Amino acid sequence: MILSDTMIIDAIKTGWVSFDPPVDIDIQVQPASVDLRLGNTFRVYNYAQQAVIDPTEDIDLDSISQIVRLEDKPFILHPGAFVLGSTMEYVKIPPDLVGRLEGRSSLGRLGVVVHSTAGFIDPGFEGNITLEISNIGKIPVALRAGIRICQLTLMHTGPVARPYGPLRGSKYQGQREPTPSRIKNDVEFLRRGEIKVGES
pLDDT digits (tens, 9 = 90+) for 85-112: 999 999 999 999 999 999 998 999 999 9
Band (177; pLDDT cuts 50, 70, 90): confident
Per residue in 17-76, pLDDT (tens digit) is 999 999 999 999 999 999 999 999 998 877 666 667 777 776 666 677 888 887 788 999
Catalytic positions are: 132
Asked whether residue 164 is marked as a ligand-binding residue, the answer is yes
Residue 59: what pLDDT? 67
The alpha-helical segments, DSSP class H, found in the chain are 5-14, 25-28, 105-108, 184-192
Residue 48: what pLDDT? 61
Residue 200: what pLDDT? 39
What percentage of residues in the chain have a pLDDT greater than 90?
60
Give the Cα-Cα-Cα angle 11, 15, 16 (nearest 5 degrees): 55
Residue 124: what pLDDT? 94
Question: Quick one: CA dihedral 100, 44, 135, 109, positive or negative?
Answer: positive
Contact 81/95 with Cβ under 8 angstroms?
Answer: no
Asked whether residue 191 is marked as a ligand-binding residue, the answer is no
Asked whether residue 35 is marked as a ligand-binding residue, the answer is no
Per residue in 128-144, pLDDT (tens digit) is 999 999 999 999 999 99
- Which domains can be identified in the chain, with CATH numbers? 5-195 (2.70.40.10)
- Other beta carbons less than 10 A from residue 130's beta carbon: 21
CA 145, CA 85: separation in Å to the nearest integer? 10
